[in-house]
Amino acid sequence: MSKPSDVVGRIHSEILPMKVGFTGTQMGMTHSQCTAFMELMNEIMPVEFHHGDCIGADSMAAKMVLANFPECIVICHPPECASKQAFVGGHVVLPAKPYLERNHDIVDACDVLLACPKSKIEELRSGTWATVRYAISIGKPVRIVLPDGRVI
């Protein structure tokens, strides 16, 4: 199995500049996921970061990108359901949309999708895993950061 840096290095050398999409659990990222996410982002050095502005992992990732990548344009794709919205925002805030449509927009706008699910096993009733499945179905590169920090 390739190390995360090998995989990202191959993607990075093939697609420049990189637009990163993000999906993650509303439960938030583990410490190991945060560390691995930042390692991937440091290797990718994105020019755009697309997030869904939900509580949990979306909010955590967007804040890390805003704080650590000043050259990166952060694009917020908020959900229609304001009760789960984090209101982190970004440089560009798009109109709110239903979850599925918004998640597809994030995937469609990026060169690679980074996903931080709450479990290491794919779940059928999970927005994060549904977004991963959509990305794979259209041939978009996906890197999944498991709760223990391993990247697949």
Spatial separation of the C-alpha atoms in residues 24 and 132, rounded to whole Å: 10
3-class DSSP assignment, residue 107 = helix
* Residue 147 pLDDT: 97
Structural domains in the chain plus CATH codes:
4-144 (3.40.50.450)
* Residue 16 pLDDT: 64
R_g of the chain, CA atoms, integer Å: 14
Please report which confidence band the pLDDT of residue 13 belongs to, taking 50, 70 and 90 as the band edges.
very low
Spatial separation of the C-alpha atoms in residues 49 and 75, rounded to whole Å: 6
Asked if residues 140 and 106 have their Cβ atoms less than 8 Å apart, the reply is no
Strand residue runs (E) in 30-136:
48-51, 73-76, 92-93, 112-116
> Per DSSP, what are the bridge partners of residue 151?
145
**pTM score, two decimals?**
0.88
Asked if residues 113 and 141 have their Cβ atoms less than 8 Å apart, the reply is yes
Percent of the chain with pLDDT over 70: 89
* Residue 7 pLDDT: 44
* Residue 14 pLDDT: 52
Spell out the residues 6+ positions from residue 61 whose beta carbon is closer than 8 angstroms to its own. Answer: 22, 24, 29, 37, 49, 51, 114, 116
Question: For the segment 72-117, what is each residue's pLDDT rounded down to a tens digit?
Answer: 999 999 999 899 999 999 999 999 999 999 999 999 999 999 999 9
pLDDT above 90 (res 6): no
